[in-house]
Amino acid sequence: MRLLLALALLAFTSLAQAQLPQPPEIAARQYLLIDLNSQQVLAERDADAQAEPASLTKLMTAYLVFNALRDKKLALDQKLPVSARAWAQRKGGGSLMFIDTTMTPTVNELLHGMIVQSGNDASIALAEGVSGTVENFVAAMNRQAQAWGLKNTQFRNVEGLTEAGHFTSARDVATVALRIIEDHPNFYPIYSVRQYTYNNIKQDNRNMLLGRDPSIDGMKTGFTDAAGYCLVASAVRDIPGGKRRLLSVVLGTASKEARASESQKLLNWGWQAWDAVRLFEAGKAIATVPVWKGDKPEAKLGAPGALFVTVPKGEGDKLKTLVERTDPLLAPLSAGQRVGTIKVTTAAGTAVSSVPLVVQEPVGLAGIFGRAWDSIRLWIK
């Protein structure tokens, strides 16, 4: 499933508050629930407040490792040395894969150790394997955060231990999680692995929801004394015309059980109180309009991808769609070029979604006589 990217991945659409389902009481300092198909925020509390990420930090660590694999700077079967710095994570009191300096685990083994077992030592080994030093890797993490426009995130380490100046927010965490799902679908299934054994030490995935709800297929837990118990959870279900994915982030709960139960409560409410409606298929023209000075008389316009909206249960048949576009439309036009906006509202006028209106197929320039004739017609018009 290709997730819809609207104006920017960071710009999740916030729904107007009138006549919308109210979320259940969630026992967490911050939380966020997003329908990833529509990019709509269904519920939130202090989602932009700075918070300690704990091992949710490893989402960004993993993203950069996935990039390195994609770019062939690493290979899954490549063996990496275990430095004294990685081994020294045993003294920090956090989660471990239990590697030592006599071992040369593969990148694939280290990824499972970091994601499934939440190993701080595996995180260090991977960071050094990608960037040479942890410091270089942390700098790359911060550059990526800046490139995405994450205003409430700053990294000081790769594993998530408490450190001055190391912070994020629920919304920023959701953005990193979404980018993993969207940009690295081949690696995302690692987040659903429920157990992993390395060096004869078997450890369970800390995400307790993987064993409770078959729709949950990832992502990541975190805990420090300062951060509390945190969980990013992603769930997917079949709907008419495709699949629907919800993503929840809860930060600062009181226990392992609480982070699981509060996340489950939030996700269940998302399924039960809201409907996902597919208004348009990917690549399908919403409108065919005249083009001036083009080698074609008309242009096909539509959404950047399949257009989903999320509405309160039972409200899907009451939606209104308004297309605002540039007029006159002048060639040349490239595929994907934005020429307007598609706005979706309820019958009462409450804004539901707004996405770009783009050109579906390119339109080149007409010949000199065609352009001259259209110039005259435009002047008369």
Pairing of strands 216-224, 201-204: unpaired
Token code pair at residue 365: 């320039």
- Letter string b/e over residues 88-107, b meaning 16 or more CB atoms within 10 A of that residue's CB: ebeeeebbbbbbeeebebeb
Phi, psi dihedral angles at 369 (to 5 degrees): -75, -35
DSSP helix/strand/coil, 94:
coil
For the record, the structure tokens of 155 come out as: 């990294």
3-state secondary structure of 73: coil
Rounded distance, CA 259 to CA 235, Å?
15
Give the type of residue at 135: E
| Rounded-to-integer distance, Cα 61 and Cα 165, Å | 17
Strand-by-strand arrangement of the 338-345 sheet: 287-290, 298-302, 351-359, 338-345, 320-325
Residues classed as catalytic: 55, 58, 118
| Residue count of the chain | 381
Per the DSSP assignment, residues forming a β-bridge with 322 are 343
232: left (phi over 0), alpha (psi -120 to 50) or beta: beta
